[in-house]
Each structure stands twice: as structure tokens, then as C-alpha cells.
Amino acid sequence: MADRNVQGAGIKIKNLYKIFGQRPAAYVEAVKKGMSKTELNEKYGHVLGLRDINIDMPAGCIQVVMGLSGSGKSTLIRHINRLIDPTAGEVIIDNADVCKMNQNDLRQFRRHKTAMVFQKFALLPHRTVLDNTVYGLEIQGLSRDKQEEQARRWIERVGLKGFEGHYPNQLSGGMQQRVGLARALTNDAPILLMDEAFSALDPLIRMDMQTVLLDLQKEIKKTVVFITHDLDEALRLGDRIAILRDGEVVQQGTGQDIVLQPADEYISSFVKEVNRGRVIMVDTIATHSSAPVTTGGVTVRSGTILEEAAKTMTDANQQYATVVDDNGKPTGTISMNSLIQAMVTPISHLTSQAAAE
């Protein structure tokens, strides 16, 4: 079994800029002073990839970076392991700036601190599942016995036991991505970078892989940076979400923050069709009245999403439930009517109601 105490390393991205072109450094100050992406391209033939990115990614959490094509999300994730060099800014991990590492330190950092899962699987076609999975450990110089011991453990954990001798062309897309995930986990790096890792999969297989990741994350607690263009995926996976547009962070926070308080019309257009029962937590609608309410002994944990709370109350045939904290102490009460209203009421009305209470 994997070590349950494994923790990821926190990542701090500070004032990060990326300009593509022949003389990117020459235009940083102009971009800082407000030069637009269009002006930079039309006048000077340079492309603005990222503008003043500041994101604090907590250790052991899943940080989702979301945006449409061209928003800069894949450019951003490649700065974390410095596959792309920044034009300006810092990427701080374990008190070290990745952007300032020399080639030897950077090589060691990539080998031991980060692992990456790609959209197109990136498996070596001439290698079996086992040999693909041990690849990172080969580069690290571990003995073959150690390589296989770790690889077989993770192959089993991602559900591929018995397929160790198969080649990639003998596997489905979902199975190939499980190999990619096993390879990354076998590397035992504290940071897992996933660039549109599930985007090429069919919807049902994609949901299955999301579940695999969430189940594994409860155990291994890596720092996962997950890139996606899909809001439902972002809301399901992300402890925190940062939304990019044209190389800039438009909004960041928890899924509930973004759904309940969209920063602008751009974000509102993303969240208007969201199933809020899978995002909003019971704490948002809990009342704290001193009047006694009969809940039939039904309790729901603080942080429970509305959909799960509704199921608990329905199964118990109760219209009310008590919200309790991690120590079992009551913090409020919810009703089935308030649950249903929160799922269907316009966001602005819900936030106004919560503020009034």
C-alpha cells in the first residue's frame, strides 16, 4: 500500500509573464503598463502568452487551471517544470525558484519533484505496460527489482493488474491513460502535472478516470495541477480553480466561490448551466435559528454538497437535517425546501438570501 503520509509540495506562482517572439524581454514593461495582446502582436510581432499570473497552489490539493483554447493554461503548467522559460516572474517550490535553477538542479527537480500526465498518453509503443511504467525510475537509476516493485504496485492501483505484458496498441484509450497515470505515480514525485489528461477519452471513461484520480488523491495527497477546458470536470476535481482568459487569471477560488459569485459575464456564461447541487455546500444555506427543529436525528457533515444531503434526507424520510462539524457539534439546520430552492434559484437571489441570513 502507498504511504498515506505522502504530501505534495506547495507551488507559488508570482508575477509570471510569458511573451513569445524574438525579443520578449524588450516588451515586458510595456505589457506591465497595459499594452494589449492585440497591440503587442500587430505592432511588434510578439504574442502575449501569460500576463501577471499569481496563483498560490496549496500542498496536497488539486489545483485546476481552466480556460478555453488559447487562454494560456497549457503554457502555464509548462512553467512549473520549466519546459517553457518565463519572460519574467517566479515559480517557487520548496523555497526555490524553478526559474533560476541551473541545468543540473533543474534536471534533478524534474526527475524527483514532478511527474506529468499528457492528453495523448505519450506511451512508448515498443514498451510493454510494465516497461512504460518503470521508465522514470530507469532514468533515476533505481535497480530493476525496485523499479518493478513500485511499478507493479501502481499498475494494480490503477486497475491494470494482469496487463503488465501488453503493449499500448493492445489497450483501449482509457487503459492507456491508466498506464500514463501509473507511470507518473511510480515516479513518486510530490507534484503531479496533468495537462488535459482526460480530454481525449470518451465521456464515461473520462468520468471513470476522474473517480480513479479522486480516490487515489485521498490516499497519496499529491499536489496536482490539472488543466482542463471543461467546467464540470474542473468543479468535480478541483479543491481550487483558476480560470484563464487571454493569458490572464479572470477568477480563482473554490468551485462554490466561482459558481455563486462569478467575477464577470465571461465567468457567468461558464457557470449558468452548472448543476449547483453538485457544487454548493450545505453550509451556504444552513440556518442558525434558536427555534427547535425536528430532524429525526438526521445529520450531515459540514462541507457536504446539496445533492448528497438531499439523498441522506430522502433516505431517512426527513424534511430537515442538522449540519455538524468534524467533531459532531451542530452548526445549523437545513430543510429539503431550502435544498431544492438553492438548486434552482438564480445565483444572485441565492447569494442575497445567504447574506440576509
Q: What percent of the chain has pLDDT over 90?
A: 66
Least confident range of 81-85, 124-128, 198-202, 286-290: 286-290
pLDDT in tens, 56-102: 999 999 999 999 888 999 999 999 999 999 999 999 999 999 999 99
pLDDT above 50 (res 2): no
* CA terminus-to-terminus distance, the chain: 46
pLDDT above 90 (res 210): yes
For range 152-180, the mean pLDDT = 92
Cβ partners under 8 Å of residue 197, min gap 6: 117, 118, 119, 177, 180, 181, 209, 226, 227
The pLDDT score that the predictor gives to residue 346 is 55
| Cell numbers describing residue 236 | 468535480
Q: What is the pTM of this model?
A: 0.85
The pLDDT score that the predictor gives to residue 7 is 60
Cβ-contact 165, 128 below 8 angstroms:
yes
Domains of the chain in start order, with CATH, are 54-276 (3.40.50.300), 278-356 (3.10.580.10)
Q: What percent of the chain has pLDDT over 70?
A: 93
Give the β-pairing of 240-245 and 330-335: unpaired
Cβ-contact 268, 262 below 8 angstroms:
yes
